[in-house]
Amino acid sequence: MKNSKILITGGSGFIGTNLIEHFLKNNNDVLSIDIKAPKILEHHSVYKKIDIVDLESFKSAVLAFNPDYIIHLAARTDLDGKTLEDYAANTTGVQNLMTIVSELPTLKKLMVASSKFVTENNYQIKDQFDYCPHTVYGESKVETERMVWKNAPSCDWCIIRPTSIWGPWFGVPYRNFFDVIKKRMYFHIGNIKCYKTYGFIGNSIYQIETLLSTETTSSDDKVFYIGDEPAYEINEWADEIAKELGFNMPTMPVWFVKLLAKFGDFVGVFGFHFPMQSFRYNNMTKDGKNDLKKTLKIAPNMPFTRIEGVKETLKWMQNN
């Protein structure tokens, strides 16, 4: 990948920021396109403010750069939208991208970011076209994937589905987990064990770069989850973070936490936010694992352990 021209849309986001840092250190020629300014001052030199929904400005910038590789991360990712029209970046923006890619004859590979939310948590997918989104955001990412399949480019391409990625430069919601533990407001719920697929950003960068530089030409293997293996047992992970911060994690009885959740639901009806509600209780106690087998065949050697990721993340939080 050294000395390649790499276009990253959504380069000011969490994953994009880390990717740009990585590729710049490897002497790549990078262009970052985003509607928001970069988080890191040095990234302004490779940044252009562009709304990907605006075809003409998007097209002009991409064709002028003429990249070897494109990593498309730009998207609206919150869960607040009510209709698909609220997620135009994930539909119209992707349609614009595919139109532009058709005019790049020397493009080596296109990578498009989707989301684990194209299915419900812990759903066992039958194939790469099996969707069951439970949010409008998830529905918009299903449309993202369908547009890529429908307008498949002549170059090599793949779709990635980031799981719950965390680490330096992260924000809501995954930074909240660290912040709550740091404030000693997190607790275990009885002896309930909950397994979820998370991914440290350092490992995610390795997976993304390896997939980008590896041919994925089989139509049966175009969709790859990004995350760590094995899935995290959340109590263990929380204990690791707390230990690094110098304290032990408390445990609350299950009946008491359920009571708190019911109370949170009740006051929520009147517009008051209480930290514990049934939605959060269910999220803390139900598994959410994703199948990484295809990804691990191509990128099997994770460069970071979870505890190394925790230490690096806490160090970044202290400095930021």
Question: 227: which 2 tokens?
Answer: 């995350």
- Other beta carbons less than 10 A from residue 280's beta carbon: 15
What integer is the mean pLDDT of 86-109? 98
Q: The domain that contains 155 carries what CATH number?
A: 3.40.50.720
For residue 313, what pLDDT is reported?
98
Question: DSSP code of 221?
Answer: S
The answer to whether the beta carbons of residues 73 and 9 sit under 8 Å apart is: yes
Kind and range of the H or E run holding 234: helix 234-245
Question: DSSP code of 231?
Answer: P
pLDDT band at 273 (very low <50, low <70, confident <90, very high): confident
For residue 172, what pLDDT is reported?
86
Predicted TM-score of the model (pTM): 0.94
For the chain, strand residue ranges (E) read: 5-9, 29-34, 47-49, 69-72, 109-113, 156-162, 164-166, 188-189, 195-196, 198-200, 223-226, 232-233, 251-252
For residue 121, what pLDDT is reported?
82
pLDDT tens profile 225-258 = 999 999 999 999 999 999 999 999 999 999 999 9
Q: To the nearest whole percent, how much of the chain has pLDDT over 70?
A: 100
Query: Domain range holding 35?
Result: 5-162
Does residue 91 form part of some domain? yes
Q: Looking at the DSSP assignment, which residues form a beta bridge with residue 125?
A: none
Does residue 318 form part of some domain? no
Q: d(Cα 127, Cα 206) in Å, to the nearest integer?
A: 25
For residue 268, what pLDDT is reported?
94
Does position 7 have pLDDT exceeding 80, yes or no?
A: yes
Does residue 85 form part of some domain? yes
For residue 117, what pLDDT is reported?
95
Q: Residue 69: helix, strand or coil by DSSP? A: strand
Does residue 199 form part of some domain? no
Does residue 212 form part of some domain? no
What integer is the mean pLDDT of 57-76? 98
What integer is the mean pLDDT of 170-196? 94
What integer is the mean pLDDT of 310-316? 98
End-to-end CA separation in angstroms for the chain: 30
Instruction: Choose between 122 and 10: higher pLDDT.
Output: 10
Does position 1 have pLDDT exceeding 80, yes or no?
A: no
What does each C-alpha distance from 287 to 233, 239, 304, 316 come to in angstroms? 9, 18, 23, 28
Does residue 220 form part of some domain? no
Mean pLDDT of the chain: 96
Q: Which of 104-118, 237-251, 279-293 has the lowest mean pLDDT?
A: 279-293
pLDDT band at 306 (very low <50, low <70, confident <90, very high): very high
Strand 232-233 relative to strand 164-166: parallel, antiparallel, unpaired? unpaired
For residue 72, what pLDDT is reported?
98
For residue 226, what pLDDT is reported?
98
Count of structural domains, the chain: 1
Angle at 105 between CA 158 and CA 294, to 5 degrees: 15
Does residue 11 form part of some domain? yes
For residue 294, what pLDDT is reported?
97
Does residue 64 form part of some domain? yes
For residue 3, what pLDDT is reported?
85
Q: Looking at the DSSP assignment, which residues form a beta bridge with residue 160?
A: 113, 224
For residue 307, what pLDDT is reported?
98
Q: d(Cα 314, Cα 246) in Å, to the nearest integer?
A: 12
